[in-house]
Amino acid sequence: MEAEVLVVAMEERLTTHNGLFLLFSTFLNSIPVGYINVVPLVYLAEIGYDPSTIGIIYSASAFAATIALIPCGFLADRYGKKKLVIIGTFLPCLAYAIFGSTLNPGLLVIASIVGGVGFAGGLGAAITTPPFFSMLASTTSDKRRSTLFGVLFAAWSLALTVGSALSFLPSLLSSSFTQSERAAHFESYMIMSGVAAASVIPLFFVKERRESGDPKTSSESNPALSQFSEREMPDLSGRRRFSVTSWSKILQFSTVFALTGFGLGVLVQLLPTWYTIRYDASESAVGFWMAVSNLATIISIPVIPRIVNRRGAVSTAAATGVVGALILALMPFTAGFEGAATLFAIRSVAVGISWPVLQSYMMGIVNENERATMVGFAYTAWGVGASLGVVMGGEFLGTGLLMFPFVAGVASYLISCAALPLFFRKVKPPEETARFGLPRMSE
């Protein structure tokens, strides 16, 4: 009876102290991401970089992540997660420092590979992402996991908003300190490097809980012993037993993520450059509207639990994904920059629902000791798609085919949304199994 009361009390908490430290680290680390996803994309185009070259620089990040994600997922599930998260979180500060010291395309590609620029994140994200998602999912109950991933998405979006809004930094530094435009940009990247370094600090306070690999002691079967514990549970067996039993789910999710990654790469990643070419939009104007778009995603966070409880995770993610893709399809037909940017902000509300729901669902349908592996494979596929998409999108923009990124991107998003119910219509996470009284599908 006491154990049942303990579990109920714990389920009322959204997350633990570990979860709060992870969220705060993500917020700090994502501010420079918002900045780098706007300022260099506009500045490099303004000083004469070919869009295809910009695409190569940003695609290098996705390519590097693609290579490293799967090995990092295996390592995290087998040997532990905290050290990998710390290392991966620190690497972006090196990348931004390189951006703050040179305009050489080769060195910018190296920076992209090491710490990542753009959404893919390079080696830094590859090392961090699999263990991070697994650790965060372990700090809440199945019932509240979608809400927590919504909060994660909100923290990420708010940080991107701050980063995008800081696009005025180069002009401020230039006017206030009578610096050249190049020097002002370099100094702003150094500031972002410092913010990325600071994001490592909260991670030292995270207490990693070791998994035995025994389903009898896992969080899924005994939540009172696991998901909400603030104490670090010792690894009594030394090296944990490890085997993957969810290969079909992993491969199916990888297909969905590859299509989503391609859509993002060919269209969304290079959108600031498209704004500059199509509407001659300034750096500060693009930064402002990207900030608005990122901020708009937060509107959707409170409705996530209600929609998921009513419709289920798969239907929710697929339906909102379709809405977002259809809004993207309208953007090329707008006459002015503000109209296109407004449509993208509206689309962001739909993404604010679909993406955290999809991430939470991915964590819910596999065993806890396979979560990092699942993330490693899924995000590797995402990275492959994003890498190919950015290169293709850069080529489209470089040759003046401004409509083609939207055709390819929208088609890819719609196919990924159709694949979700096709693959996972009968696969229910624990919270939906309990709510609807349905059997959980196994391999």
State the DSSP string of 14-42.
S--HHHHHHHHHHHHHHHHHHHHTTHHHH
- Cα dist. 344→52, 268, 300, 337 in Å? 23, 9, 15, 11
Query: pLDDT (tens digit, 9 = 90+) per residue, 303-349?
Result: 888 888 888 889 999 999 999 999 999 999 998 999 999 999 999 99
Domain containing residue 308: 17-205+246-435
Q: Check residue 340 and give its pLDDT.
A: 95
Amino acid at 341: A
Cα–Cα dist 187/263, whole Å: 32
Q: Check residue 50 and give its pLDDT.
A: 87
Q: Is 234 inside a domain boundary?
A: no
Q: Is 375 inside a domain boundary?
A: yes
Q: What is the pTM of this model?
A: 0.73
HSE-up of residue 369 (Cα within 13 Å, Cβ side): 22
pLDDT at 228 over 70: no
Q: Is 4 inside a domain boundary?
A: no
Number of domains in the chain: 1
pLDDT at 231 over 90: no
- Cα dist. 160→44, 62, 118, 119, 165 in Å? 20, 19, 11, 11, 8
Q: Is 212 inside a domain boundary?
A: no
Query: pLDDT (tens digit, 9 = 90+) per residue, 132-180?
Result: 988 898 888 888 888 888 888 889 889 988 998 898 898 888 888 878 8
The one-character DSSP state at 401 is: -
HSE-up of residue 112 (Cα within 13 Å, Cβ side): 29
Average pLDDT score over residue span 368-374: 81
Q: Is 218 inside a domain boundary?
A: no
DSSP letters, 174-224, are: HHHTT--HHHHHHHHHHHHHHHHHHTTGGGGG--PPPP---GGGSTTT-GG
Host H or E run for residue 437: none
Q: Are 66 and 163 in contact (CB under 8 A)?
A: no
Q: Check residue 301 and give its pLDDT.
A: 80
CATH number at residue 113: 1.20.1250.20
Query: pLDDT (tens digit, 9 = 90+) per residue, 188-200?
Result: 999 999 999 999 9
pLDDT at 209 over 70: no
Q: Is 112 inside a domain boundary?
A: yes
Query: pLDDT (tens digit, 9 = 90+) per residue, 382-431?
Result: 888 988 998 899 999 989 999 999 999 999 999 999 999 999 988 888 77
